[in-house]
Chain A
Amino acid sequence: DIQMTQSPSSLSASVGDRITITCRASQGIRNDLGWYQQKPGKPPKRLIYAASSLQSGVPSRFSGSGSGTEFTLTITSLQPEDFATYYCLQHMSYPWTFGQGTKVEIK
């Protein structure tokens, strides 16, 4: 099974900050990775697909990069609505696996 190690598990940041979240795969997953944002009581929302492609309608302050085993989600100029939990997902091989999540909180 492919393990997805996501870090950090939580972070505190201020509006306007730049933040980076990392997911490391236990083996190469090409670019079969997506990033999802979840707010309390809501289903997740896809932000990034194919590791670096921005989902239509998602603000350009979100970006993804990486390939193989190391991937990052970057949010430039954090906005109030960005405080949420973020997950990566690998879908290269079964079982599909999510990272443990990163909770982004207001400092």
Chain B
Amino acid sequence: EVQLVESGGGLVQPGGSLRLSCAASGFTFSDYWMSWVRQAPGKGLEWVANIKPDGREKYYVDSVKGRFTISRDNAKNSLYLQMNSLRAEDTAVYYCVRVGVCSGGICYEVFLYWGQGNLVTVSS
């Protein structure tokens, strides 16, 4: 059974930093692209970042470029999101999501598996 379990969220002051982690199990983690998706309170879904299985390609939404870094440790079956220079508008539930397998610019099983989400609140 595929499981994605996020941790590391909480309350942080504007300008502060936080690191989210996602522990993956039930599949060969090193074969899959992975993603972070967020949802501000009462709002819609927003894709944040993707990372290739070997970690060498990363993509970000413009609003987090230069502030957030997605990374992974395949030996530990773990995905991370380092969030720096946090702003009030980054307040959201952050989901760890399995993208799927991507080849030739086409991805399969996109966002089939989601974690339960982890709340990050940026407030003074």
Residues of A within 8 A of B (CB): 1, 32, 34, 36, 38, 43-46, 49, 55, 87, 89, 91, 94-101
Contacts and interface: CB of A to CB of B under 8 A. Distances in A.
A44 B44 contact: no
Interface of B: 44-47, 50, 59-62, 95, 106-107, 109-112, 114-117
B114 A95 contact: no
A87 B112 contact: no
B62 A89 contact: no
B61 A43 contact: no
Q: For the complex, would chain A's binding face be called helix, strand, loop or mixed by DSSP majority?
A: loop
A95 B44 contact: no
Contacts of B44: 87, 98-101
Contacts of A98: 44-47
B45 A101 contact: yes
Contacts of B114: 43-45
Contact of B62 (A32, A46, A95): A95
Nearest to B114: A43
Nearest first, the 6 A-B pairs at minimum CB distance are: A43-B114, A96-B47, A101-B44, A98-B45, A94-B59, A95-B61
B32 to A, nearest CB: 14
A88 to B, nearest CB: 10
B45 A96 contact: no
10 contacts: A46-B111, A49-B109, A55-B112, A87-B45, A89-B111, A91-B111, A94-B59, A95-B59, A95-B61, A96-B47
A49 B107 CA distance: 11
Nearest to B112: A46
